[in-house]
Every structure is written in structure tokens, then in C-alpha cells.
Structure 1
Amino acid sequence: LDDGLVPMTNSLDERNIRPYTIGRKNWIFSTSTKGADASASIYSLVETAKANRLNPFDYIEYILEIMPQIDIIQHPEKIDWFMPWSDQIKEEFGIKDD
């Protein structure tokens, strides 16, 4: 490859998926479909937070504190405010777009 931006190895990618490959055998013992779906949702939220340069713990703590105060039933569009890529979340956590 001639592009210097392409990494020479996929070590970073493999390191990022390592927790999932280690835990994979444990997940086959999920006792219910709902439990497996919940786990998948949390992992997706955590990885999306990381991809948007948020600390996953701080982000999840924030949305669990703030979301119950918002009437999502009456204003379903407000759920977009809490997505890791939203301008409101980036502003709340001091993330600047490059």
C-alpha cells in the first residue's frame, strides 16, 4: 500500500475487540434472550461512547441521572439529545469537533 495513513498491522483493532473475544464463551450462558439483548445494548452504548471520545462510565452515569427528568413519551425527539454523537452531549462533556 502506498497510503501512509493505513496502519501496518491490525493490532489496534484486535486489542479493541479483545474483551469481546475473551467474554464470548461466557455470553453463551445468557439465561434469556432479554438478558442477551440488554448486554448487547450496553456494549453497543459503551463502544459508541468510546468512539465519540466520551468516558463510558461518566456518559452512562450522566444519561441515567438526566434522562428520567425528561418526558420522552411526550417529546420522543429529545432522546436524540442523549446520543453519544449529539452536540448537547459533546458540549456537556467538553468534546470539541476537530
Structure 2
Amino acid sequence: MLSCPHCRSALPGLPARCYACRGDLGALRDLRTLADRHFNQAVRAARIRDWGTAREHLAVTLLLNPTDTEARSLLAKVRHHNRSAPRRSGSRRRPGFGR
């Protein structure tokens, strides 16, 4: 459960204003909306097995909302799939090496 950044009262849901102090929670709501957008993009990327993109979006999600348990769970699955994904046979080489 979130708490108001102004008065530290518990906030069920995420109202536009704190029930206790009437403080504006617009910025907090915007951060949560942005975190949700990144989570949804991560889900889309994971569905098409784009593990790197999914991992990047989940990292942003967790920076914006560290308590997001769904994002943590999906990140664990993405890491698992990323480790078990087959490696590309034509790996990139730096110029002048491996000739």
C-alpha cells in the first residue's frame, strides 16, 4: 500500500488527492502510469521473445515502482528464458580479432 508523500497516511488505491491532508498526488499517479506503460511494453516484448527489450522495460518499471511484484516475477521469467535462449552463431567480433 502506498503512503502519501506529504503526510505519510496510507492510501488505498491512488486518489488524485490525499484523503487526510488533501495533498496533490498527481505526480505520483503519473509515475505509476508510466511504470504501467513500461510493464505493458515488457509483456509485449516477452510475448515475441524479445528478451533484451523486455528486460529493459522491466528495469524501468522497477525503478519507477520498486514494489511491483508482477514486474519482479516477469523479470525472473525473462532472465530464465534469456539464459536458455540459443546463442547466435555469427557473434559480433571486434575488427582485427579472430581472423
Question: Greater strand share, 1 or 2?
Answer: 2
Question: Greater helix share, 1 or 2?
Answer: 1
Q: Does TM, scored on the shorter chain, surpass 0.5?
A: no
Instruction: Give the TM-score, by structure 2 length.
Output: 0.29
Greater C-alpha Rg: 2
